[in-house]
């Protein structure tokens, strides 16, 4: 029984969680046992549900580190991980689960608001069977947006927020924050 890793990348509002849950639901219809995992500190919607920006939800386990799950994942056929950029052990976890025959669906931000690699998520690219980068709609001009722009002055990388703090931007409209480091 051979597993695989399917990676879904893109900026905020590009439909990553929508696509993750869409693929997950197809497996549910096919009779697979599915586990959705969300990042614990992301309580924008709820502790025990993964949610899209337009309110689609799915029951989820929350964790700060995937190793927290122990061997609980072994009982499932499909493991879906939302906001994978926040999990320090997403690469090791996805590899172990896929090698154990699981279908591992992973989504997350490829870049932070400076368009730098977000966490270790890009390390999943060479070990994934499938990689897809989605686009949002640019909040300024309406073109396809591949980047996330922060519209507040906060300098920390991990600020979990929504439309009040981040906007999708195309190449022409993206503005990097003033360098401060």
* Residues acting as catalytic residues: 83
In 10 A of CB 164, how many CB atoms? 8
Q: Which stretch binds Mg ion (CB under 5 A): 15-23, 121-129, 148-156, 165-173?
A: 15-23
Site for Zn ion in 21-50 (CB under 5 A): none
Q: Which residue has the tokens 């998520």?
A: 121
Answer for which of 5, 7, 10, 17 binds Mg ion (CB under 5 A) is: 17
Residue of 6, 24, 52, 85 that binds ligand ADP (CB under 6 A): 52
User: How far, in Å, CA of 176 to CA of 148, rounded?
Assistant: 10
The burial of 4, by beta-carbon neighbours within 10 Å (0-12 exposed, 13-18 middle, 19 or more buried), is given as middle
Under the criterion CB under 5 A, does residue 175 sit at the interface with Zn ion? no
Under the criterion CB under 6 A, does residue 37 sit at the interface with ligand ADP? Answer: no
> Which one of the spans 52-60, 68-76, 89-97, 114-122 is the region binding ligand ADP (CB under 6 A)?
52-60
Which helix (DSSP H) or strand (DSSP E) does residue 107 occupy?
Answer: strand 103-108
For β-strands 78-81 and 34-39, DSSP reports them as parallel
Q: Footprint of Mg ion on this chain (CB under 5 A)?
A: 16-17
């Amino acid at each position: 029984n051979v597993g695989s890793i399917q990676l879904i990348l893109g900026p905020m509002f590009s439909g990553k969680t929508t696509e993750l849950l869409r693929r997950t639901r197809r497996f549910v219809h096919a009779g697979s046992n599915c586990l959705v995992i969300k990042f614990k500190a992301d309580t924008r919607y709820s502790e025990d549900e993964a949610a899209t920006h337009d309110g689609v939800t799915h029951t989820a386990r929350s964790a700060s580190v995937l190793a927290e799950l122990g061997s609980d994942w072994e009982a499932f056929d499909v493991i879906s991980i939302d906001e994978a950029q926040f999990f320090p052990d997403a690469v090791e976890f996805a590899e172990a689960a896929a090698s154990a025959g699981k279908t591992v669906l992973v989504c997350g931000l490829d870049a932070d608001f400076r368009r730098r690699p977000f966490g270790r998520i890009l390390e999943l690219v060479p070990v994934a069977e499938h990689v897809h980068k989605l686009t949002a709609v640019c909040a300024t001009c309406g073109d396809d947006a591949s980047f996330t722009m922060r519209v507040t002055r906060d300098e920390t990388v991990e600020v979990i927020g929504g439309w009040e703090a981040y906007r999708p931007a195309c190449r022409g409209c993206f503005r990097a924050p003033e360098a401060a480091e």
